[in-house]
Amino acid sequence: MAQQNLFIGSLAYATTDDTLKAFFEQIGEVESARVITDRDSGRSKGFGFVEFKTESDNQKAVDQLDGKELDGRAISVGLARPKEDRPRRDFGGSNDRGGNSDRGGSFRQRSW
């Protein structure tokens, strides 16, 4: 069975993977700590995930750190939901919704 991650919400934009890891190490040994960033800008999305080496530290972290302040913001700590299998989104010019599939997606074509 896969190790359960913690979902950490309401993170300050200044919070990094290292500061997140250091904050959660007061509970136990952290396997990984990751702040999720925007692919294009590289800026934090305001949430992240923490995984402890020992599964029992998850509930301790939820009980002790939920609502505590990190980098000037009260964070929310909870068990992460498993990643669901989602179908890939198709942004191409398919004819699924009755559109004209030879127009190259949703961009308007110039006629000159």
Identify the domain containing residue 51 by its residue range.
6-79
Within-domain flag for 100: no
| One pLDDT digit (tens) per residue for the chain, 112 residues | 567 899 999 999 999 999 999 999 999 999 999 999 999 999 999 999 999 999 999 999 999 999 999 999 999 999 998 878 777 777 665 555 555 555 555 666 677 6
Within-domain flag for 89: no
**What tokens were used for 56?**
């029992």
> Which helix (H) or strand (E) segment is 7 a member of?
strand 6-9
> Which helix (H) or strand (E) segment is 19 a member of?
helix 17-24
Return the pLDDT at 92: 63
Within-domain flag for 94: no
Return the pLDDT at 46: 97
Return the pLDDT at 63: 97
Distance CA 61, CA 66 (A): 7
Within-domain flag for 91: no
Within-domain flag for 106: no
Distance CA 58, CA 95 (A): 47
Task: Kindly report, residue by residue over 87-97, the tens digit of the pLDDT.
Answer: 777 766 555 55
Distance CA 75, CA 72 (A): 9
Other CB atoms within a 10 A radius of the CB of residue 85 amount to 5
> Which residues sit opposite 34 in a β-bridge?
49
CATH number, domain at 29?
Answer: 3.30.70.330
Domain count along the chain = 1
Within-domain flag for 12: yes
Within-domain flag for 101: no
